[in-house]
Structure 1
Amino acid sequence: MRFRFLALAALLAANGPALVPSLTPTLAHAQQKLPLTLEDIWAKPTFRAAAVPGFNWMNDGRYYSALDAGSLVQYEVTTGKPVQTLVTAAELQLPGADKPLAVDGYSFNANEQKILFTTATEPIYRRSARASYYVFDRGTKKLTPLSTGGKQGYATYSPDGLRVAFTRDNNVYVTDLATMQETAVTNNGVKNNLINGSADWVYEEEFGFAQGFFWSPDSKQIAYYTFDESQVPEYDMQEWGGLYPKENRFKYPKAGEKNSVVSVSSYDVASARTTKMDVGPVADQYIPRVQWTQVPNTLSIQRLNRLQNKLEILHGDAATGKTKVVLTDTNPAYVEINDDLNYLAGGKQFLFTSEKDGYQHLYLHDMDGKQVRQLTKGNWEISAINGFDPKSGFVYFTSTEGSALQRHLYRIGLNGKGKQRIIEAGNGIDVVNMSPDTKYFLNTHSSAGVPAVVSLREGSSGKLVKTLEDNAKLKQTLAQYDLGKLEFFSFKTSEGVDLNAYMIKPSNFDPAKKYPVLMHVYGGPSFGTSSSQTVLDNYGGANYLWHQMLAEKGYIVVSVENRGTSGRGSAFRKATYANLGKLETIDQAEGAKYLGALPYVDKSRIGIWGWSYGGYMTSLAMTKNADLFKMGIAVAPVTNWRYYDTVYTERYLKTPQENPGGYDDNSPVQFAQNMKGKFLLVHGTGDDNVHFQNSIAFVDAMIKANKDYQTLYYPNRNHGIAGGNTRLHLYRQMTNFVTQNL
């Protein structure tokens, strides 16, 4: 369910320039620390972290580009200094307009003489959007709309830079940049019926992509998805505000229901000929990934059965549509889907990650799928493949080898030798953006309570080239507040399971006192190798600061990483398979008991809160372990897995027809009668992901059980519950609920 704490984290770690109020305290006040306020955290830019917007590597490994005050600037990698302004803001002003385009993003064509600028982006769901695209010719300085037929989606240059493909109204189009002539690749797209070139709702949410078309390396063909969603049931989400509510009906396959029938086709640009690829005779299956190999005319298609425990890699002839299975990966529970399939230059080998030895590791295969060798091994897992240098034969990857709480960059040779950590010093989390030739990488590093430092580094050595953003102003601002230290710890449960956790104590902590505790939980599995962990050695953004504000008010804040979460291998993550909620709830209860036994914790005042899967966990904790938790806040929770989508839910529970107990035995709805503590239930009525229906069902169950509760709903807000004053309002209500009831 990529509904999760990670989605919230993206909103919490706000990007953009650091705007810090000028603070010049007098000597008398120099020693006095400032109090944290909700307004500073959620409404003002006081704690906004700075980033490097619009960063892109250029063809020549010596340069990168980035947006700066509306202009596009080229920088030299080795110095980080600007070399030239590629496009000025003034050049992005259309005739008759009173100001330049407000650019959201950009991309270059192959020779970097044409630039595709994105503006007026309109989000649809989590990853999908439509926008207005403009082609800028650096030679003529001419700015031209890509299309005049309405907003476009996912406009992408062909590798040779001569054309741009895009989607509109469920169809795929190609524009020839020499003539600006637009050609329809498909013409049968119909809303809520048939989609070409884009993902349907459940693929976008659970397989992590929205763009569903792909240029071949030689620019001669476009492979694209078609989703026949005509048999998928519709969800009717009311939109409030007008005299009559508006219906927003979209296809949403709930667990056990029909999915889209998915096909893959190849379109030859020169002949306008379309070839349908053979994805097998079974319609009830998934095609989670499609990509071109380095072999001309050869398409790679990943095929996954509905139970998601068997993944096959198919190689297909784009001219004939014929395919063959070259590799099969199976697992007793489920197979992870990720973006780690990499075809190497020369067309003879590919890299693939699998957890067949219990951890996500890297394997080298020939083009027939035969394993050449396992490249990495150990009780740790790969988080991402960051790059490959064909000259040296080194693969660059991020992994948990140092700690499940951390992520660091390593490299290893195709011969399985020479593994080394690139940046030797320091703990924390490294997020790596490597140049195509692997000579340099952009590294975004943060650690517990420390905002991100963005730096340019040499690929082979990790040597610092230049720090692009150190967030010094934010660090200076944070130093003016009396923050408690975030401490990591672990403990062993009564079942002998070691669990990782963190604790934030008040800065004036007195071990002789008894403190109330608020536990924060997510607790669920995550898609692929992305992390669902809350216990990570990184800067926690606004949520971290809210927890610090509660610590300032005299609370200890704790998060416990239960079984079912990522970072510790297959056995730990898949222990919850077919029975979501059971072991996770046991582990959170063990955490509450462990904390309650500490001499400085008041065991009668332990609360818990969580969002999404964390809301589900909070609802279970407040009912199945009602004697342990005095209060709980559940935000946007699933309360019955029958209401959630096919891909996520069936991956972890099978279908409800096959495993009804897995759906019902740990549904909070079934335990509403056990509720004892103070409970706040929060949901956005416009949540396209975890439907408001979940909270309605739980409220109905609590009414039937004659249990007291409080609810807070946000009209038309989606799963992130954000926009305008929404977050400030939400966290004010949650703060009041904690202080009044814990």
Structure 2
Amino acid sequence: MATTFPRQHARTHRFTLGSPRSFTVAPDGTRVAFLRTRSGSDRAHLLWVRDVAGGEERIAADPEALLGGAAEELSPEERARRERSREGTAGVVGYATDTSLRMAAFALSGRLFTADLSGAADPNGGKAVELPVPTPVVDPRPSPDGRHVAYVAAGALRVVAATGEDDRALAEPGAGTVTWGLAEFIAAEEMSRTRGHWWSPDSDRLLVARVDDAPVRRWTIADPANPQEEATRVAYPAAGTENAEVTLYLLGLDGSRTQVAWDRERYPYLARVHWSQAGPPLLLVQSRDQREAAYLSVDTATGATSVTLTERDAIWLELFGGVPAWAPDGSLVRIADEAGAAAEAGEAGEGGETPGAPGSPGARVLMAGARRLTTSALHVRAVLDIGERDILFSASEGDGARSDEAEADTASGPAARSAPGDIGVYRVPLDGGEAVRIADEETPHLASAVRGGGTLVLSTAVPSRPGTRVVLLREADSAPLGTVASYAETPVLATAPRLLHAGKRRIPTAVVLPTGYRESDGPLPVLMDPYGGPHGQRVVAAHNAHLTAQWFADQGFAVVTADGRGTPGHSPGWEKAVSRRLASVTLDDQVEALHALAEDFPLDLSRVGIRGWSYGGYLAALAVLRRPDVFHAAVAGAPVTDWRLYDTHYTERYCGTPQNDPEVYAGSSLITDEGLSLVDADSPHRPMMIIHGIADDNVVVAHALRLSSALLAAGRAHEVLPLSGVTHMASGPEVAENLLLLQVDFLKRSLGVAG
């Protein structure tokens, strides 16, 4: 039987299996550790080590050998950790190393293993050994000197010698609601802080988060398909309700314990922790409304903190990867949003405040102390590494670089990097100078990198080629040192997305037409395929990102993906335009992009469907309920339908609280206690398919059920597809394959598409 795209897409975990990932480079640049599965359909990752000079690769840890062929068993804590990080594969899905990259630690089936990363190849699948410790183990991390491993088991933070001896608890929960050393739900889900313990550079103590979720409301998640199973009680901090109590302690290997003190009433969110040889422990803490943040230095002798910098913003302060951190010269490295003239003049500096900028595009810049290292030509995304003399970071083209092209931009788009979706890797000197782009091949592209000891690992995807290319470069002169092979499968179809800016707002957009489409074929029914909300960029310069759109296009649609206001990668003002008006802004931009593209592409505006998942599901349902004059059918996957039922850190950033801003929630939600929200009772009824995983603990199934009840009460026909045992990821091969088939069938029926 021939392989179909839906089957291959599901079996290969969206073509990610077999592709190398999670790179770590030795500080002397001689070795690189990474994860990769054996093939493009094997879901179990192995830990590999590559010798840079000779190019030889060896397996450092093989889960099949270590488990003796037994199936992997996941503890509830590990399942939750993987759900928060959207990890849907198996085997060694994460690891941590000592500073010298001689030893790695990882958990497998709740057991603790270490692997030798410096020795010769072993025919039995590496020199990984199991340490006899209490299970189930979560998030093991070696000390920088490699002599100990810290890990979490049964809510306790424990330490064991790398030899397997002297296992002991440094902190135990003492109550069922307490954990030590793990990130709380809200940090892992919304702050991208997935860790809860950090070693000191001297390997003699740790900073450890203590989380008590007793104040958090309990929700029940049950599996109606298996009524004999007990329901699960989860602590879910819904908007306007209590969060977990998070405190921080210095725990010494000698048994000492010191609490780290800061104004937790003013700054309840522990957003970032950094500890390196370059300075004292550094914390980034946020106010509940996320309009104020403080960078705190920790006195390791007393636990007292001092304020290094305070930031304020009239809308909100964004969090970024890789910062804050100390540079080797002691300056504070951070990414800052600057507004208008202040950004161009470089007025904000260390010790100052970042001004809010309602209505201003502003600039997102890289700072080292009072030095502004980048201009508005670059929209800084994350810091990748801080070296002795420079900083490695990722960035998109900023509004400053785009403005000169605004008048010339057309449906075909300007050349090279001026097309949307480009994310590059750059290097900028710490003492000032121009940021230099690091590129191995064509632009625009989607790139990331890690480095160490003069060796740089650059991963690049481009629109014209499937998959990701990983090359090793000598950083001094970009000389090639080899390519890390990918075992990912080649897709059974190819795509050539048109990346462009649409409409007066120059909305980043991708358009995909059926393979072999000719103008004589006539106008095409349209499928809008957005995420369209915060933290979700869909228009990227990478081939595989548009494969599903191509498959839908080949079923007879023109597929449009639009990253309207609120999505990342454009400017601070673009992202913050959704503040207190999520629904209206994100929906307006989908309509604008659609109508602007209809002037240049063969779009049949009398047959427009929309599909999406999570925020995209919310946007799809919103579209047919509030703009049925534009949208004629919707597939709403795992939609947030009532923002009162979503979590604190995300929802309150955009909507305030239900107590103080009830009108914002009424205007942004699809439903209220009275029924459908802001829907004209006389408006046309459009077909809607609602899909939701029953086991979803992020966007709980109550969202879909309440929307269905409101639609029923309003007399609006709709379809509901409940997914038993499925979480927010919906990544199982059978589920993923059939979801595509069922969606296209629904859209064809609803829009009258033949075939």
Q: TM-score range by the shorter chain?
A: 0.7 to 0.9
Q: What is the letter of the counterpart of residue 417 of structure 1? A: G
Give the CA deviation at 1:174. Answer: 0.9
When structure 1 is superposed on structure 2, of 513-522 and 233-242 the one drifting more is 233-242
- Residue 81 of structure 1 corresponds to 56
Q: Is the 8 A contact 1:389 1:438 kept in 2?
A: no
Q: Is the 8 A contact 1:38 1:728 kept in 2?
A: yes
- Residue 116 of structure 1 corresponds to 105
- Residue 15 of structure 1 corresponds to none
Q: Is the 8 A contact 1:285 1:305 kept in 2?
A: yes
- State whether structure 2 residue 394 is matched by structure 1 residue 398: yes
Matched residues, number: 670
Give the CA deviation at 1:98. Answer: 7.2
For the structure 1 residues 54 and 606, does the alpha-carbon distance in structure 2 shift closer, same or farther, using more than 3 Å as the test?
Answer: closer
For the structure 1 residues 555 and 395, does the alpha-carbon distance in structure 2 shift closer, same or farther, using more than 3 Å as the test?
Answer: same
TM-score by length of 2: 0.82
Give the CA deviation at 1:429. Answer: 3.1
- State whether structure 2 residue 299 is matched by structure 1 residue 317: yes
- State whether structure 2 residue 211 is matched by structure 1 residue 227: yes
The CA distance in 1 between the partners of 2:65 and 2:692, in whole Å, is: 41
- Residue 6 of structure 1 corresponds to none
Give the CA deviation at 1:50. Answer: 3.5
- State whether structure 2 residue 382 is matched by structure 1 residue 384: yes
Which of 579, 586, 599 is the aligned partner of 2:588? 586
- Residue 365 of structure 2 corresponds to 361
SS at match of 1:263: strand
Q: What is the letter of the counterpart of residue 535 of structure 1? A: V
Q: Is the 8 A contact 2:457 2:470 kept in 1?
A: no
Q: Is the 8 A contact 1:294 1:343 kept in 2?
A: no
TM-score by length of 1: 0.84
For the structure 1 residues 43 and 703, does the alpha-carbon distance in structure 2 shift closer, same or farther, using more than 3 Å as the test?
Answer: same
For the structure 1 residues 574 and 197, does the alpha-carbon distance in structure 2 shift closer, same or farther, using more than 3 Å as the test?
Answer: same
Q: Deviations over 1:318-354 (max 9, x none)?
A: 2211111110111111101123325446562231111
- State whether structure 2 residue 113 is matched by structure 1 residue 134: yes
Give the CA deviation at 1:435. Answer: 2.1
For the structure 1 residues 194 and 65, does the alpha-carbon distance in structure 2 shift closer, same or farther, using more than 3 Å as the test?
Answer: closer
Give the CA deviation at 1:60. Answer: 3.0
Write the mapping of 1:204-353 to structure 2, written as runs, cut at 5 A. Answer: 204-270=188-254, 272-280=255-263, 282=265, 285-294=268-277, 298-341=280-323, 343-344=325-326, 346=328, 348-353=330-335
SS at match of 2:617: helix
Q: What is the letter of the counterpart of residue 209 of structure 1? A: R
Which of 164, 170, 176 is the aligned partner of 2:149? 164
- State whether structure 2 residue 541 is matched by structure 1 residue 537: yes
- Residue 8 of structure 1 corresponds to none
Q: Is the 8 A contact 2:207 2:248 kept in 1?
A: yes
- Residue 627 of structure 1 corresponds to 629
Q: Is the 8 A contact 1:410 1:419 kept in 2?
A: yes
The CA distance in 1 between the partners of 2:534 and 2:60, in whole Å, is: 44
Q: Is the 8 A contact 1:264 1:279 kept in 2?
A: no
- Residue 509 of structure 1 corresponds to 517
Q: Is the 8 A contact 1:236 1:248 kept in 2?
A: yes
Give the CA deviation at 1:548. Answer: 1.8
The CA distance in 2 between the partners of 1:632 and 1:180, in whole Å, is: 58
Write the mapping of 1:320-719 to structure 2, written as runs, cut at 5 A. Answer: 320-341=302-323, 343-344=325-326, 346=328, 348-356=330-338, 357=343, 358-365=362-369, 371=370, 373-390=371-388, 393-401=389-397, 402-403=417-418, 404-423=420-439, 425-447=441-463, 450-469=466-485, 474-475=489-490, 478=492, 481=493, 483=494, 485-492=496-503, 496-512=504-520, 513-526=522-535, 532-541=536-545, 544-596=546-598, 600-669=602-671, 670-671=677-678, 673=681, 674=683, 676-719=685-728
For the structure 1 residues 570 and 295, does the alpha-carbon distance in structure 2 shift closer, same or farther, using more than 3 Å as the test?
Answer: closer
Q: Is the 8 A contact 1:294 1:345 kept in 2?
A: no
Q: Percent identity?
A: 24
- Residue 125 of structure 1 corresponds to none
Q: Deviations over 1:455-474 (max 9, x none)?
A: 21222443332222367x85
The CA distance in 1 between the partners of 2:395 and 2:569, in whole Å, is: 9
Q: Deviations over 1:355-402 (max 9, x none)?
A: 12322211111xxxxx2x111111431112122331xx1212111134
- Residue 29 of structure 1 corresponds to none
Question: Tell me, which stretches of 5 or more residues in structure 1 are unaligned?
Answer: 1-20, 22-33, 121-130, 366-370, 527-531
Q: Is the 8 A contact 1:427 1:447 kept in 2?
A: no
Q: What is the letter of the counterpart of residue 262 of structure 2? A: V
Q: What is the letter of the counterpart of residue 337 of structure 2? A: E
Q: Is the 8 A contact 1:93 1:99 kept in 2?
A: no
SS at match of 2:231: strand
Q: Is the 8 A contact 2:272 2:324 kept in 1?
A: no
SS at match of 2:726: coil
Give the CA deviation at 1:45. Answer: 8.6
For the structure 1 residues 470 and 642, does the alpha-carbon distance in structure 2 shift closer, same or farther, using more than 3 Å as the test?
Answer: same
For the structure 1 residues 708 and 399, does the alpha-carbon distance in structure 2 shift closer, same or farther, using more than 3 Å as the test?
Answer: same
- Residue 346 of structure 2 corresponds to none
Give the CA deviation at 1:178. Answer: 4.7
SS at match of 1:593: helix
Q: Is the 8 A contact 1:135 1:143 kept in 2?
A: yes
Q: Is the 8 A contact 2:13 2:733 kept in 1?
A: no
Q: Deviations over 1:616-667 (max 9, x none)?
A: 1111110110111111111000011111000000011111222111111132
The CA distance in 2 between the partners of 1:663 and 1:189, in whole Å, is: 39
For the structure 1 residues 76 and 188, does the alpha-carbon distance in structure 2 shift closer, same or farther, using more than 3 Å as the test?
Answer: closer
SS at match of 1:155: strand
The CA distance in 2 between the partners of 1:281 and 1:73, in whole Å, is: 42
The CA distance in 1 between the partners of 2:7 and 2:49, in whole Å, is: 37
- Residue 39 of structure 1 corresponds to 7
Q: Deviations over 1:406-457 (max 9, x none)?
A: 0111111112214221227511434323223343223233325632222212
Q: Is the 8 A contact 1:202 1:645 kept in 2?
A: yes
- Residue 78 of structure 2 corresponds to none
- Residue 7 of structure 1 corresponds to none
RMSD, aligned α-carbons? 3.0
Give the CA deviation at 1:209. Answer: 2.5
- Residue 41 of structure 2 corresponds to none
